[in-house]
Amino acid sequence: MTARFLLGGLLPLLAAAVPSAATAATDSGAVAATPPAQFMAALARYCGQAFAGRIVVDRPASTAPDPFQGKVLVMHVRGCEAPEQTLRVPFHVGDDRSRTWVISRVGPGLRLKHDHRQADGPPEPVTLYGGDTRGAGTARRQVFPADAESVALFEREGMAASTHNAWAMEIEPGRRFVYELARPDGRLFRVEFDLAHPLPAPPPPWGDEAVGATQKGA
């Protein structure tokens, strides 16, 4: 009688627990399947690999000397200690290894920052600018409008046009990765990298030792 009573009392509890477990699994799967998470996962597949790039759009043409003209362009996916959270992607322009894109998860979306370093490691005066995504985007494309911190930096440095910057990244696994800068004034700059043909890994970006020490808590 007692065993029958206990079993009868447990069955409703077990029945109630099953939907909860299923719901939790569904919720977890939904989080993992969000476009920002899918985008990060697609890029993380290339951790440790480098790829050649080419400028596919650059308008209007600059009247100043073009730092990209005639240079070998290479992206290198590294900084993959926690790839689901942060990826560091140096963008080498010829022998200039000052640029690193830092893509990280922030809340439900992503954040892009540009880490610019001098040859001996210290940060450039204009560095760590970027922004957060304002929507889910897609597994293929994420857009990062300039955040308030970056706008203040650009204004302080006399770079008024850049206050309207919006950066974007696109990935088509096995085919291409795209970095884009766009502004309402018609400025559009796009570099496309060939993901189908990996290159030998280039040297580390400038300041890599300092970044590594910071990440280790030194």
Rounded Cα distance, 144 and 27, in Å:
26
| CA torsion angle 155 123 193 133 (round to 10) | -50
pLDDT tens, position by position, 47-56: 999 999 999 9
Task: Give per-residue pLDDT as tens, 5-36.
Answer: 444 554 444 444 444 444 433 444 444 689 99
Q: Where are the beta strands (DSSP E) in 16-108?
A: 50-59, 73-76, 86-93, 96-106
Asked if residue 187 has pLDDT above 90, the reply is: yes
Instruction: State the chain's mean pLDDT as an integer.
Output: 86
| Tokens representing residue 82 in the block | 């926690």
pLDDT tens-digit series, residues 113-131: 999 999 999 999 999 999 9
